[in-house]
Each structure stands twice: as C-alpha cells, then as structure tokens.
A = this chain, B = another copy of it.
C-alpha cells in the first residue's frame, strides 16, 4: 500500500465554503469575516452574543516527551475532533497558528497529518489571516516609541542600558539576535545594544493568547515592563502610551480564525505563543468561544505533558477559568521504543522489550496528569510498522496503571479510525469524574511554586538557584507579582533539564539559570538551560527550493 503525502492529501481536500463550516456551529454568514473562501474570523459581536451560554466539554490532547520518531499530537487532536463529530457530537478543535519564519528554514509544518489534517495548509503556513504580522507591527511600534521617547528628551528617565523590550520579526535571522542600533549620529538617536526575537516569542503573542477581550488585551499590554530606570524602577508600556495604538493594531488579530478539517469539521486556529518562554497554547478567546458553541472542544498544548499540559493547567486554565473534562495522552509504539533505547534507524524492527522499557515515560505523564484531578485516556497513534505484540505491551502497561490505552488509526483512516477513542473520551467527559485543580495556589511563594512543579511533575530532588535568582523572585513578590503562576522554560525532551535523559528519571535536580517577568502576560518565566528566541537558518534553507510550480501550486514548503 502506498500513501499519499500530507500535501497531496491536503490539495485533494474537498473543502466546503467557510460559511457552511460556521453554520455547523450556528455562526451566521454575517458574523464570519471571510479571508478568501476557506478562512474566516468570527466577529466580536457574535462572540459577545454567546457569552451567557453554558460551556461544552473541554478535552486536552497532550503527549509524552517528544522523540525524533514523532508522536502525532496535532494529528490526534484533529482526528479526535473528526471522530467526535462522527459519533454524533458537535465538536470543534482549537489549535495554534504556525510561525512563518521557520518554514523557510527546515521543511515547513502541516497542521496534522495523513487523513487528519486542517486545511488550507498552504495559507496556514504562510500569512494566514495576518495575525502574526499584526503582532510584529504592534511589538515593533512599542520598540520604536521607546527609542523615540529617549530621542526627544527621555522624560521617563529610562536607563538605555536597561531596556528589556527588544524587536521582533517572523523570520529565522541569526544576524539580528544581537545588534547595536541608533548608529549614524545625532539624528538617529543614542547608540545602544539590542536585538530581535522571532515574533512567536513576543510577550504580545502570549498576551493575545491569554486576553479575554480587547479591554483586557489593552490592560495587559499596558502592564508590560519595557525598561528600568537607574534606580531599577520599572517603566511600563503604559508609560510610553503605546497600549492604545497596539490594541488598534491587534483588533482583528484578537478574533479567532475558523477553518476546517479534511472532513469539513470546524477548526479554530488562533495564536501561537512559544511553548518554553510562554505557555504554548492557542488563544483563550478561541477556546472559550468554541466552548460556547460546540458540545466538545478538543485542544492541545505544546511539547510533552510535563511542559505543555502543566502550563495549560496552571496558566491557561487558571487564568481563563477553564477546567478540562478529559485528557488524551498521545504516545506511539515507536516513541516508546526510542525511550527504551532503540535508535531511530532500528524503529522498524519489532522489539517488545524496548517498548516495555520505554513505557515508564508514558506512565509518569499519566500519573502526573491524574494528579490534576482529571480523567486521562492514552491514545496509541498507530504507525504502519507497529506490531500487535508491541501495541499490547503498551496497553498492558497502561491497564496496570488503572487506565486504558486505545489504538487509533486516524492518520490512515480519518475519523473511522478513531471512533473508539472518541467514545472513551465521551464516557470520561460525561462521567463527571473530573475534579480539576491547578497544582499550586496563587498565594504560594514563587520559589515554592517552582519547587512544586519540579518535584511533582519532573520528579526532581531539588531546585538549584543562585542567590541572585532567589532575590529577584523575592523582589517581584514585594512588588506585587507574587501571585503569578510559573512558566517553566526547559528542554522538552526529558522530564529533567538534560535532553538526553529519557524515560522517567529520578534523582536529578533543576538548576535555574535566569528568571524573567512577563508582567503583561501574567507569569514568571523560569529558565533552566539554553533558550533560543531567534532561530537561524540551516546551511541549505528550505527557502532555496520553495517556489510556485507551473500550476501555481507551492512546492517545497512541506
């Protein structure tokens, strides 16, 4: 059997006009702001009109620590949405938007895969509805206004050595990581060091994804700290008077984008914050809107459950007043084998012992997720080389942990291949067993919150932090930021801070390198290891082979 590639499948998609997709959720054509015939934004007035409705069920899809074998988290999210629709539930999915820049480095990303994809794939990987461009503009307007303020006299007494607000571009451009700006003489300002991050790393992105509405957006933008004075007192975005104009630039970007799956079911694709220095979830507005108009909303969080689900629970759910009714933990036999020590080249061989040896990584994520008080089911995302014995090994392991692991074939079969998981999710969500609670209360001291995550989620023995880090956290507590949740930035490849430590390590410690305050987004970023906020291009960037073919189709992007 030969399979079509993702892009071939996507190109063959029998897309329905976006108005038909909206109608499935009761959104009238007048409340859809179309972008072409297959994309639309949902109007603010419609969003306002549904606020008093009860919420549907919220399902989080998360995964084990990612391996080079691939787990298929987004594919499963899309497949489950289709599966729920197949068994008669009005379901919508909520996923993140793709960043433009990285597509020109490595081969670009689809939204899902196989028969579980969201379309139009090309648009979603290019400019889509312009949300990220709006974020870039809003971010850089603030940057320009800061330097402009200094140029015209610096009434706020900003210390130009302590400006923490950089600039952004949605481009992989290592040359901009560190620059000296305002060179060239008096007319160009005061020379100073600064640099660019990629747009998805902007605090504006995190804020857009956490803000409840435009008023909340402006409030949060105003709260951002952009610089410090010589006396270390903070200068806020509000002091620069940029928050109003930034909100105007972000007005349309705040409205969720509606597209469709290959099976013509509704998919909200909105927001895309970094999953390390930010919380890595799609927008609150998309999720809360979808919950008002769908019976089931299936969403996902970035990276593995130790980072993504933890932040989904402790940041997004806490801030937005959400509670997941069920969690799907995605694993693959191949990934279990890699956790069990098998090299990528040997993944095609049956190896039940390696599967069993890798299962503890899955088991720990399962236990962690349960500790949030939510019912969890494991999805084994089927791959063609999986053997029955290998699948059974995973299922037996999970059964021994008191849960169920269900094999899913949505990649090859679409919704038909994921009916069992859909039924199980409905059983869990409607069983009323969810008793969700975040891992730590707001009023726990910041350092204690970090330790709670490190011990309860990472199963580390200790958190290591210099005095300067501890002092900084204490200072923020004094300044009134002690109630904020923690946003951990560590490797996604391990429970520990060592990317090579697979499985379910114990006895490790979590060294904190640096802490940052995202006062607008509303979290404290705790950085454990190298975090790259501006990627570079590889030796042969995929851009070199991206082009339009003679039929006007895009080649080389996927």
Contact = CB atoms under 8 A, between A and B. Distances in A.
Interface stretch (A77-85, A454-462, A480-488, A539-547): A539-547
A184 B177 contact: yes
Contacts of A188: 174-175, 177-178
A252 B178 contact: no
A169 B140 contact: yes
Interface string A154-197: 00000000000001011111111111111110011100010100
A179 B546 CA distance: 30
A242 B541 CA distance: 10
9 contacts: A100-B137, A104-B141, A145-B537, A167-B176, A175-B189, A214-B552, A248-B547, A248-B554, A251-B552
Contact of A130 (B127, B171, B244, B556): B127
Contact of A33 (B37, B44, B147, B182): B37
A126 interface: yes
Interface residues of A, number: 72
A36 interface: yes
A547 B245 contact: yes
Nearest to A170: B137
A247 B547 contact: yes
Contacts of A117: none
A134 interface: yes
A543 B36 contact: no
Contacts of A536: 148, 151, 187
A152 interface: yes
A276 interface: no
A241 interface: yes
Interface of A: 30, 33-37, 44, 100, 104, 126-127, 130, 133-134, 136-137, 140-141, 143-145, 147-148, 151-152, 167, 169-184, 187-189, 193, 195, 214, 218, 241-242, 244-245, 247-249, 251-252, 536-537, 539, 541, 543-548, 552, 554, 556-557
Nearest to A249: B126
B547 A244 contact: yes
Contact of A175 (B36, B100, B181, B544): B181
Contact of A126 (B143, B180, B248): B248
A552 B127 contact: no
Contact of A241 (B171, B178, B249, B543): B543
A34 to B, nearest CB: 4
A255 to B, nearest CB: 11
A184 B178 contact: yes
Contacts of A556: 244-245
A175 B194 CA distance: 10
Nearest to A123: B252
A44 B552 contact: yes
Contacts of A195: 184
Contacts of A214: 548, 552
A236 to B, nearest CB: 14
A248 B541 contact: no
B248 A145 contact: no
Contact of A34 (B35, B100, B170, B244): B35
